[in-house]
Amino acid sequence: MGWTTFSSVIGAVALLALAGCSGREMGAEVDEGGFGNPTMNNIGVHTGQIQVQIDLAHRFAEEVDSTVTFAFNSSRLTPAARATLDRQADWIKQFPEVRFRVYGHTDLVGSPSFNQRLGKRRADAVVSYLTRHGISRARLEAVASFGETQPVVFTQAREERNRRTVTEVSGFVADHPMLLDGQYAAVIYREYVASAAAAPSLGGGSE
């Protein structure tokens, strides 16, 4: 056995001895020591939950407008905003397993601290409106404000497109029976009933 090989063996034995003395498994330093976020993320990937969440987020953004805008220095919902939120609520009610988060934004006029509070009031207004449609507050996972930090249009002037809230899919309701059965695919492929309007009558008669 050459000196280099002998040194490598001695080094490996020393490392094993140190691991035994410390009472910790080798490699334990790369784990947080519990059933934490890395493990949960790994489970989400393997069960398909994370991919379904991403697919649902894309579907929500495609099928309904996820954004409503506000007047300058206001958190009051406009008629147009309420109409958009009505459609959001209809979609959300079709997917009772899914949770949502509402983000509030402002334009760049005013101080950052003021705009942070204004963004929060706008998000609160949206959540309050959605709950009036019978959606559980527990399904609206969090109300967050980005204030002026994420403008759509970067301008110091007043800009309506920056004064907005964005509703997004954020996860799943814990312990929902359907998800306990692993039926994630059934969630993503569920038909969304865009309108509850009655179909026109096929019978005869005058118009």
Q: What are the tens digits of pLDDT across the range 6-64?
A: 444 445 444 444 444 433 333 333 344 444 444 334 434 344 568 888 888 999 999 99
**Higher pLDDT, residue 94 or 3:** 94
What pLDDT does residue 137 have?
94
What pLDDT does residue 189 have?
67
Q: What percentage of the chain has pLDDT greater than the value 70?
A: 63
Which long-range contacts link 52-58 to residues 24+ away (Cβ below 8 Å)?
52/184, 52/185, 52/187, 52/188, 53/169, 53/171, 53/172, 55/188, 56/95, 56/98, 56/169, 56/187, 56/188, 57/168, 57/169
Mean of per-residue pLDDT scores for the chain: 76
**Does the pLDDT value for residue 134 go beyond 80?**
yes
Residue type, 2: G
**Does the pLDDT value for residue 184 go beyond 80?**
no
Which pLDDT band, with edges at 50, 70 and 90, does 180 fall under? low
pTM: 0.68
What pLDDT does residue 6 have?
45
Which pLDDT band, with edges at 50, 70 and 90, does 193 fall under? low
Tell me the mean pLDDT in the region 142-166: 93
Fold category of 53-188 in CATH: 60s Ribosomal Protein L30; Chain: A; (3.30.1330)
